[in-house]
Amino acid sequence: MRLKHGIDLGYCTNIHRGETWEETFRGLRDYTDSVRKRVAPDEPYGIGLRLSAVASIELAQSQKSRGDFRRWLEETNSYVFTINGFPYGMFHGGRVKEQVYAPDWTTPERLEYTRRLFDLIDEFAPAGRSVSVSTLPGSFKEFIQPENERAQKEAIFRHLRECSEHIESIRERSGRDVHLGLEPEPLGLFETSSETVAFFEELVSTAGNGEGERILRNLGVNYDTCHLAVEFEEPGEAVGRIRDAGIRISKVHLSSALALTPNPASVEKLSAFQDEVYLHQVAVFDGAKVTRRFRDLPPALSWYHSAPEDAGKEWRVHFHVPIHCEPEAPFQDTRGHISGLLELLAKDPGWCSHFEMETYTWEVMPEKMKSGDVVDQLVDEYEWCLAQFRAHELA
């Protein structure tokens, strides 16, 4: 939906299963349209689409499927303004973990997939409207081999420059603003705002004369409020550092992390959030800085039991929890990061216009955290978000 200052707000359809185009389109008809009818029945409804590589190929190769989708968008008064291009393959129903980063930006497969997403969104989005695609932060830290780091990073930078060229061609042809958002994530190739700035500086340094300006126009950051909160960053500091470096914020993911004070009772209850599908990275904070990071909950829990005296003052866990309600004690959340970011935007509107709610963990969420079915939860999240936007005079 369209809010003040040209802001588009939607939810990311990666919450629903769908690896083929048929499955994806069924989810849009069954779930997304049900949400639309409850939150925006009489106004244009913005969709944050997730397309797997398989679904994107099927859609690109079928003129009939694309025509059917365009007609459905018209019939439901809906529009696509952004695509989540981070998860390339399967995202529900089986082990994802670190494979969500594969193939990474060292590979031509990631480049071709992302180019294809831009071609599709340019076809489906309203003429003249800004469009975005979000993607992973280059790679996963563990994928980078010390003996091959230079070659891997050179490949990442080369493919991102080629993607920028493709975006520029769409920009010139369509006249619309087109941009890719790289998403800092715990234990990604870059995860903090400082690492993000360093990555972009290195990327731009590899560009030829005049190319750096185009790169910074076409490539930016997908700012996930859960991820930066897990890093114990404050929105004013993180957003300021990114923008001061001349890096655009392409899109904001509105999401909330799980937080807790580590003690025997809270750590025992935290085990309920373990699953075999997603990574749930953990950051340990001693009151001044992050002292440890764990790639997933099992090693963090094991470490606590072996050295509870070193557990720090607070843990934050990369588990996207519903943004419309507080988790039960002993847990807290990081919704304050969302409010802080919107306060910044209210003081200086215009530095980002794409906002997407992203609580994709529905299937692995403890039952106590679910409010009704998935449609009910999405409607509740919309209501909470819209109240926040209105409180900051952004809607």
- Tell me the per-residue pLDDT of 125-169, one tens digit each, with 9 for 90 and over: 999 999 999 999 999 999 999 999 999 999 999 999 999 999 999
Contacts of 37 (CB under 8 A, 6+ apart): none
- Quick one: CA torsion of 146, 152, 156, 157, rounded to 10 degrees? 90
pLDDT at 209: 85
pLDDT at 371: 78
pLDDT at 167: 98
pLDDT at 368: 87
Q: Per-residue pLDDT tens, the chain, 395 aa: give them.
A: 999 999 999 999 999 999 999 999 999 999 999 999 999 999 999 999 999 999 999 999 999 999 999 999 999 999 999 999 999 999 999 999 999 999 999 999 999 999 999 999 999 999 999 999 999 999 999 999 999 999 999 999 999 999 999 999 999 999 999 999 999 999 999 999 999 999 999 999 999 888 999 999 999 999 999 999 999 999 999 999 999 999 999 999 999 999 999 999 999 999 999 999 999 999 999 999 999 999 999 999 999 999 999 999 999 999 999 999 999 999 999 999 999 999 999 999 999 999 999 999 999 999 989 878 999 999 999 999 999 999 999 99
Cα dist from 242 to 78, 248, 264, 351, whole Å: 32, 8, 38, 11
Q: Are 244 and 237 in contact (CB under 8 A)?
A: no
pLDDT at 210: 83
Domain count for the chain, please give it.
1
pLDDT at 370: 87
| CA separation for the pair 347, 245 (Å, rounded) | 19
Query: Between β-strands 331-333 and 282-285, what pairing exists: parallel, antiparallel or unpaired?
Result: unpaired
In a domain, 272, yes or no: no
Cα dist from 264 to 11, 290, 305, 347, whole Å: 36, 21, 9, 42
In a domain, 266, yes or no: no
DSSP 3-state of 2: strand
| CA separation for the pair 95, 102 (Å, rounded) | 13
pLDDT at 321: 97
pLDDT at 318: 98
Instruction: Tell me the pTM.
Output: 0.98
In a domain, 185, yes or no: yes
Which tokens hold the place of 205?
């340094």
In a domain, 318, yes or no: no
DSSP symbols for 328-393? PTTEEE-HHHHHHHHHHHHHSTTS--EEEE----GGGS-GGG--SSHHHHHHHHHHHHHHHHHHTT
CATH code of the domain containing 137: 3.20.20.150
pLDDT at 252: 98
In a domain, 364, yes or no: yes
Contacts of 51 (CB under 8 A, 6+ apart): 21, 24, 59, 83, 85, 117, 120
Full domain range(s) for residue 241: 4-255+334-391
* E strands present in 87-161: 131-135
Contacts of 187 (CB under 8 A, 6+ apart): 140, 141, 142, 279, 281, 293, 295
DSSP 3-state of 46: strand
| CA separation for the pair 129, 391 (Å, rounded) | 26
In a domain, 288, yes or no: no
In a domain, 162, yes or no: yes
Which tokens hold the place of 150?
């230079």
Query: Between β-strands 178-182 and 131-135, what pairing exists: parallel, antiparallel or unpaired?
Result: parallel
In a domain, 138, yes or no: yes
Q: How many CB atoms lie within 10 A of CB 370?
A: 13
| CA separation for the pair 316, 285 (Å, rounded) | 8
